[in-house]
Structure 1
Amino acid sequence: MAGCTGATSERTAAAVHGLPEDALLDMGDFAGAVLKYLRRHPVDRLTIAGGFAKLSKLAAGHLDLHSGRSQVDPRHLAALAREAGAGEDLAGAVAAAGTGLEALRLCAAGGVALGDRVAEAARATALGVLRGAPVTVDVLCVDRAGVVVGRAAPAGPPERGTAGGAARQD
């Protein structure tokens, strides 16, 4: 199944994984609610699909992705850009970016896969919220046109032989 933040990410997740409509969850801004539910009622696999900016909030540990309750943190994006190989000049530009999209574009122009790093950090947050529930998670970050701009491969809890991560419990 796929938990999607909107119609564009829903279409992309369905196309990428060949999912039928009944496998798509319109989670909107409520990633935490979906993850907490799945912690108690696991499914084999969950794809989290959403816009880059929304998923950068999940990557920073926010579970409510609404713009009124969490914001894109350019300093966190700069740290993720460094982890993805950005030098200090590029990381500084990312930290000063006015939007998540601007940060993504700066990194793309510099050859740094910020979208993939954000997807990996969002997956780590999700696995942390799942607290070892037997759910394998992958993440798709998309732009406004539905193009995949970041991807994290499927991973599950440590007992499934894959790495997990911690999340702030908003």
Structure 2
Amino acid sequence: VEADLAVDQVDELRLLCENAKEVLFLHDNAGEVVLDMILIREIKRLGPKVIAVVKGGPVLNDATMVDADEVNLAEYADEVIDTGAPAIGVNLKRNSKEFLDRFHSAELIVAKGMGNFESLTEFEPESPIAHIMRTKCIPVAEHVGVPRNKNVVLIRYPPE
């Protein structure tokens, strides 16, 4: 696996984490949750609380509360919640009020994976969103401005 980042905004993400009180961490694939726990630990070392978010039910191979419980995600995150719906990415029409309240009030969002990227780029962010993903398809790669199959840490900011 290629490790270089085609878009590397890691230093900006670190600074955002240092200045945040709370980070909403949107998980992607179930198989990545254990690695995500390492990232959550590193984010927490910078100071903020981390609220881990998994899907509200099975959808593709995305992480659910069952997956979170199996790997003891709650031992790393300050809180683990779900989206309230088995939907890809963030779905403003299907996700629960609890999740949407947390989403809309989030100071900083870390969003793993292309599903989260594709859904979150449908509207302007209300707070900074750090997308951590691999550009697995041409439309997403073109949107980001990098070749296909590249790793990126890309931060989108609210309009001024």
TM-score scaled by structure 1? 0.35
Task: Identify, as 1 or 2, the structure richer in strand.
Answer: 2
